[in-house]
């Protein structure tokens, strides 16, 4: 009987061990070849040219900054021009050749060339947004192109496998893989930093290229790296697809963005501010100033208020507020919970449009 039970127990243990290993192996890809082959046709290489104007002097030396001789001999300077080129990546989201890339890839470009499967096409800018570093291009062609689909970046988890495809150092069609290293990274690159961090190799020229999950969906737009040498150090950053999609839809439809605007100057809630205000911990966004006749001013917001919740979303830190406000449609009526005089108060106000605000135009 004991011998029979031991044999039965051994079979159970072996069965569960095999099932466990099968599940682990099923989640760990043995190759990215099939995925890469499927996705490569939707990824493009982008090259741009622009004219750089400078002043040249006939002298074989330069005067130091502030030297009076520099002003005396300024009349001898002659304007010169040179062509500068830059490289980047992108991906096609519509069969008609609508391409997504970074704004910094095409900023100030006079000519934009998009290469798809070794064929080159001219492209024009449909819309660009420097604040999110996103641009939308249209390939000048009547052909149908293979497209990439956006996935739900909110479902992406730290530790998930990801694949980057792009044009690093001009070496088009380069595939790298890695994992998501962190979420919601703020590196002070844009007003609305909320990056996906990855250790998939991203280098110069990868900017604007897609970051795919294992389902072949775009969950991010590769945008930046942190590297003392300028090459990949295993820390790259991608704009989340869910945030990018909102901006892209606006750029395609209007040629520009339409963000919500509150009209306040904010600062971090320090331990000292929290103590004086009677808050249980440092949180929210401290209002350091309110613009006259702004939505905040009309809605009753005052300097010294601390915003704790905006339109149902908790404001944990100062940097949260601009992102939440910008992602809210202009003219929407919203509830804002603020901390004032050691009490929680709810204000109701109507948002303006940031792009129409005086502060934005300056």
pLDDT 10s digits, 77-116 = 666 666 667 799 999 999 999 999 999 999 999 999 999 9
pLDDT at 77: 62
pLDDT of residue 20: 47
- Residue 244 pLDDT > 60, yes or no? yes
**In this predicted model, which residue has the larger pLDDT, 184 or 136?**
136
Q: Quick one: which of 360, 289, 298 has its CA closest to 334?
A: 298
What's the confidence (pLDDT) of residue 68?
62
Judgement on whether residues 196 and 268 belong to the same structural domain of the protein: no
Burial of 163 (0-12, 13-18, 19+ CB in 10 A): buried
Domain-located, residue 285: yes
pLDDT digits (tens, 9 = 90+) for 314-362: 999 998 999 999 999 999 999 999 999 999 999 999 999 998 887 665 4
Higher pLDDT, 51 or 215: 215
In the chain, the N- to C-terminal Cα span, in Å, equals 88
**pLDDT at site 85:** 79
Check whether residue 154 and residue 249 sit in a common domain: yes
Q: Which of 307, 285, 296, 304 is nearest to 348 (CA)?
A: 296
Whether residue 56 lies inside any domain: the answer is no
pLDDT, tens digit (0-9, with 9 covering 90-100), for 28-49? 678 999 999 999 999 999 999 8
Flag whether 3 is in a domain.
no
**Separation of alpha carbons 129 and 127, rounded Å:** 7
Is 133 in the active site?
A: yes
At residue 4, the pLDDT reads: 44
Catalytic residue, chosen from 42, 86, 132, 133, is: 133
Set 47, 89, 177, 207: catalytic member: 207
Q: Closest Cα partner for 219 from 201, 203, 236, 196? A: 196
pLDDT band at 13 (very low <50, low <70, confident <90, very high): low
> Is residue 141 assigned to a domain?
no
**193 and 230 share one domain:** yes
Lowest mean pLDDT: which of 11-15, 43-47, 121-125, 165-169?
11-15
Tell whether 213 and 155 lie within a shared domain.
Answer: yes
The model's pTM? 0.80
Asked, for residue 15, whether it belongs to a domain, the answer is no
Q: Is 15 left (phi over 0), alpha (psi -120 to 50) or beta?
A: alpha
Residue 99 forms part of a structural domain: no
Task: List all residues 6 or more positions away from 135 whose beta carbon is below 8 Å from its beta carbon.
Answer: 100, 101, 102, 103, 105, 106, 125, 127, 128, 129, 208, 251
What is the span of the domain harbouring residue 224?
Answer: 149-254
Please check the confidence at residue 7 and state whether its pLDDT lies above 80: no
Determine the 3-state secondary structure of 18 from DSSP.
helix
- Same domain flag for 238 and 322: no
Three-state secondary structure along 300-341? CCCCCCEEEEECCEECCCCCHHHHHHHCCCCCCEEEEEEEEC
Per-residue pLDDT of 273-307, as tens digits, reads: 999 999 999 999 999 999 999 999 999 999 999 99
**Rounded Cα gap, residues 342 and 279, in angstroms:** 7
Do 215 and 166 share a structural domain? Answer: yes
Question: Residue 196: which of 255, 133, 242 has the closest Cα?
Answer: 242
Q: Are 359 and 262 in contact (CB under 8 A)?
A: no
Indicate the residue among 228, 254, 280 that finishes a domain: 254
Same domain, 246 and 221: yes
pLDDT value, residue 360: 64
297 and 233 in one domain?
A: no
Residue 24 has pLDDT above 60, yes or no: no
Asked whether residue 317 falls in the same domain as residue 239, the answer is no
User: Between these two residues, 223 and 23, which has the higher pLDDT value?
Assistant: 223
Q: Per the domain annotation, does 69 fall within a domain? A: no
pLDDT in tens, 183-205: 999 888 887 889 999 999 999 89
In terms of Cα–Cα distance, which of 260, 258, 281, 262 is closest to 347? Answer: 262
Please indicate whether residue 186 is annotated as part of the active site: no
Tokens coding 153: 């970046």
**CATH number, domain containing residue 327:** 2.30.42.10
Dump pLDDT digits (tens) for 335-345: 999 999 999 99
Number of structural domains found in the chain:
2
**Does the annotation count 56 as an active-site position?**
no
Ranking 56-60, 170-174, 223-227, 333-337 by mean pLDDT, the lowest is 56-60
> Within a domain: residue 33?
no
Listed residue (342, 344, 346, 345) closest to 276, CA to CA: 342
For residue 51, how many other CB atoms are within 10 A of its CB?
10
pLDDT, tens digit, for every residue of 152-188? Answer: 999 999 999 999 999 998 888 899 999 999 999 988 8
Residue 357 is predicted with a pLDDT of: 81
Q: How confident is the model at residue 71 (pLDDT cuts 50, 70, 90)?
A: low
Confidence of residue 66 (pLDDT cuts 50, 70, 90): low
Element (H, E) at 136: strand 134-139
């Amino acid at each position: 009987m004991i011998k029979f039970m031991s044999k039965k127990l051994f079979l159970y243990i072996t069965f569960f061990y095999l099932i466990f290993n099968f599940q682990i192996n099923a989640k760990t890809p043995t190759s990215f070849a099939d995925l890469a082959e499927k996705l490569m046709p939707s990824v493009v290489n982008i090259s741009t040219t622009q004219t750089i104007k400078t002043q040249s002097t006939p002298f074989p030396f330069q005067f130091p900054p502030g030297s009076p001789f520099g002003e005396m001999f300024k009349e001898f300077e002659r304007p010169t021009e040179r062509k500068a080129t830059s490289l980047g990546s992108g991906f096609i989201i519509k069969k008609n050749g609508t391409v997504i890339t970074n704004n910094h890839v095409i900023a100030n470009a006079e000519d934009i060339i998009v290469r798809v499967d070794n064929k080159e096409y001219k492209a024009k800018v449909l819309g660009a947004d420097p604040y999110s570093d996103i641009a939308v291009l249209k390939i000048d062609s009547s052909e149908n192109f293979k497209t990439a689909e956006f996935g739900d970046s909110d479902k992406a988890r730290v530790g998930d496998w990801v694949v980057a495809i792009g044009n690093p150092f001009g070496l088009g069609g380069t595939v790298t893989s890695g994992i998501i290293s962190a979420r919601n990274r703020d590196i002070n690159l844009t007003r609305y930093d909320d990056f996906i961090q990855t250790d998939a190799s991203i280098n110069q020229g990868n900017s604007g290229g897609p970051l795919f999950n294992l389902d072949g969906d775009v969950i991010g737009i590769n945008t930046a790296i942190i590297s003392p040498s300028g090459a990949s150090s295993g820390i790259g950053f991608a704009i989340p697809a869910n945030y990018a999609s909102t901006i892209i839809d606006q750029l395609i439809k209007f040629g520009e963005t339409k963000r919500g605007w509150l009209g306040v100057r904010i600062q971090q809630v320090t331990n000292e501010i929290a103590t004086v205000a009677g808050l249980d911990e440092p949180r929210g966004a401290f209002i350091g100033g309110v613009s006259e006749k702004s939505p905040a001013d009309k809605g009753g917001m005052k300097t010294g208020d601390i915003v704790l919740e905006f339109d149902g979303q908790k404001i944990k830190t100062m940097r949260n507020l601009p992102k939440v406000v910008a992602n809210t449609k202009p003219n929407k009526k919203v509830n804002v919970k603020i901390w004032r005089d050691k009490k929680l108060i709810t204000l109701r106000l109507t948002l303006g449009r940031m792009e129409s605000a005086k502060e934005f135009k300056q």
